[in-house]
Structure 1
Amino acid sequence: MKSRTRPYHHGDLRATLMATAMRMIEEQPVERLSLRALSRAAGVSHAAPYHYFPDRAALLKAVGDEAMREFAEALEDGAASDRDARGSLYAMGRAYVRFATQRPRAFGLIFDPDLCPPGDPGPDRGPLIARAEAALEGCVERLRRTGWRPRQSTAVVALALWAGVHGLARLVADGYAPADGVDAALEALVADA
């Protein structure tokens, strides 16, 4: 009698499952991601993912949290990439649009209100959102130190910039605005800052 064995011994099974899930959402619609499909793709038993994710919603939330971590890192890298505050804002905007256009499904999970309810992002995602906000507000504060004096608070200016870049990213990612117009649009947003 031939027994079916599946490899199960991973150094860090949760990390393997997360990496596999992140790859899967880039290759196929999020709707096709299931715990069974994940276990198959990771080469583990069908029960293995349930040790970390009790259901599909928990898996999608974890994938969205990981996407937010990667997104926050990209924004922080943009903020740190230029000594000039406007240059940093521009680089953050480019990173934002790049993430949205190159990883649209991950981007969608970041801002899915079912996975991250507005006003209640949860203990995992909340600090990640705060990191992204802090990077943006830090750039606005750097601009203030150069003599720029907007009437609004740093938080309001940061929110307005975030809204503008988010709208641009969605329009480009969804095909409603041309990708070759991103630089000019970002320059217009940053010039007003």
Structure 2
Amino acid sequence: MSRSSAPDRPYHHGQLRDALLTAAFEQLQEISAHQISLRGVARHAGVSHAAPYHYFPDRAQLLAALAVTCNEQFLDAQRRAVDVQTQPVARLLAMGEAYILFATQHPNAFALIFDPATCPPDHSNPDTAPFIRANHELLDDLIRAAQDAGQLPHDDPQIRAAALWGTVHGLAQLVQLGHLPAEVVPAALRTLIAPAP
């Protein structure tokens, strides 16, 4: 029996919401956030069409919660990549590579994370703001650690963070769109984050 035609699955109290968000995240591998529907998510999760409405009264609230899930997955991917490295610059490179890898492996989730409707540039979304702040703090901490180790120049870490973020984000989009082969990413990042002479 296919997942889409499965009967309602038994979920313990509180687990259904997580299951619906997992189903929605899985659907982002095939369709954009604009194509996500409550009915489609219910079908993918193998529950009744009415089930999502207990947690998400409308599609907008489902997408808002899905944006949180995407931000959480995005941050976790970068943290895991950083944690397996020990040298400051290697940790910084790992974060950049994980950022781009997530963007290329989960393009629709990546698009939702930066969608102005869910991540307004002029004011913070209280649901996603903690993840965005943690992501910025991770980058800032890695830059400062590399500076303290003498592996990066002692310039303004916030300006350097803005430059690195903008460049890595641009690389991610170029790879996504096929304008740049993924194979060049590690060398490009090493050129960008070269140890101080």
Q: Which residue among 78, 103, 106 is the counterpart of 1:103? A: 106
Q: How does 1:153-172 map to 2 (within 5 A)?
A: 154-172=157-175
Q: 2:134 aligns with which of 112, 131, 147?
A: 131
Aligned length: 188
CA distance in 1, matches of 2:120, 2:195: 31
Gaps of 5+ in 1: 1-5
Distance 2:66 2:108 in 1: 10
Aligned pairs for 1:6-155 within 5 A: 6-7=7-8, 9-11=10-12, 12-147=15-150, 148-152=152-156, 154-155=157-158
Please report how far the alpha carbon of residue 165 of structure 1 lies from its aligned counterpart in structure 2 after TM superposition. Answer: 0.5
Whether contact under 8 Å (1:79, 1:139) holds in the other structure is: no
Q: Which amino acid aligns with 2:85?
A: D
The unaligned stretches of length 5 or more in structure 2 are: 1-6
Amino acid at match of 2:11: H
Percentage of matched positions with identical amino acids: 42
Other structure's SS at 1:116 match: coil
RMSD value over aligned CA atoms? 1.8
- 2:193 is paired with a residue whose SS is helix
After TM superposition, give the deviation of residue 158 of structure 1 in Å: 1.2
Distance (Å, rounded) in 2 between the aligned partners of 1:36 and 1:54: 12
**CA deviations over 1:12-67 (Å, ceiling 9, x no partner):** 11011011111111123333210111112222222211121121121112111111
SS in 1 for 2:121: coil
Q: Does the CA contact (< 8 Å) of 1:39 and 1:46 recur in 2?
A: yes
Task: Give yes or no for contact 1:78–1:89 (8 Å, CA) kept in 2.
Answer: no
8 Å contact from structure 2 (residues 32, 108) kept in 1: yes
Contact in 2 for aligned 1:21/1:33 (Cα 8 Å): yes
TM-score when scaled to structure 1? Answer: 0.90
